[in-house]
């Protein structure tokens, strides 16, 4: 990701998660971890949402989904749920059809948002960010 570097954390040869940090800063043994990201389906929220969970299934647990992307944020698509328990958990979405899980009706703007998504839309990554 632009402006973000990552350190992969392995166990038994498999990446478990990534420690993310700003590219403009160095990361060492005394650094404070402020961002984690995983694409490993072995990790889930307390409610069982993990990489590979369909957006439809996550909606049943967390409420209505709202998908968005910003062209100035590398067009990374995120999905937020009306009743998700923590504001510092970010779910990235994907679809096998065209990459975006969301169906965006208007012409591309800087910021794009929708509540409509592809049937095959899933959670692709989970990020946890210390917003303090």
The average pLDDT across 84-109 equals 87
Residues 40 and 83: their CA atoms lie apart, in Å, by 24
Q: Confirm or reject CATH 2.60.460 for domain 4-129, answering yes or no.
A: yes
pLDDT band at 113 (very low <50, low <70, confident <90, very high): very high
Q: How many residues does the chain have?
A: 132
Residue 107 has pLDDT above 80, yes or no: no
d(CA 24, CA 38): 22
What pTM, to 2 d.p., does this model score?
0.89
Mean pLDDT, rounded, for 51-74: 95
Lowest mean pLDDT among 11-20, 70-79, 94-103: 94-103
Do the Cβ atoms of 95 and 118 come closer than 8 Å?
Answer: yes
Residue 131 pLDDT class (50, 70, 90 cuts): confident
pLDDT given at position 1: 63
- Residue 48 CA to residue 17 CA, distance in Å, equals 17
Alpha-carbon span 29 to 58, nearest angstrom: 36
Question: Could you give the count of Cα atoms lying within 13 Å of 59 in the half-sphere of its Cβ?
Answer: 15
CB-based burial, 3-13: b 16+ in 10 Å, e otherwise: eeebeeeeeee
Query: Per-residue pLDDT averaged across 66-94, rounded?
Result: 93
Between CA 49 and CA 71 the distance in angstroms is: 27
Domain boundaries, the chain: 4-129
As a whole number of angstroms, the distance between CA 123 and CA 42 comes to 13
């Amino acid at each position: 990701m632009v402006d973000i570097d990552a350190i992969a954390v392995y166990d038994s040869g498999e990446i478990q998660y990534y420690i993310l940090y700003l590219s403009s800063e160095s990361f060492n043994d005394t650094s404070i971890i402020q961002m984690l990201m995983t694409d490993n389906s072995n990790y889930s929220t307390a409610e069982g949402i993990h990489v590979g969970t369909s957006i439809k299934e996550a909606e049943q647990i967390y409420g209505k989904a709202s998908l968005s992307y910003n062209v100035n944020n590398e067009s990374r698509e995120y999905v937020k749920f009306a009743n998700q328990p923590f504001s510092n958990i970010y779910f990235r979405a994907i679809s096998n059809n065209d990459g975006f899980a969301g169906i965006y009706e208007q012409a591309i703007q800087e910021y794009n948002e929708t509540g409509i998504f592809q049937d095959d839309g899933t959670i692709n990554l989970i990020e946890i960010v210390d917003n303090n």
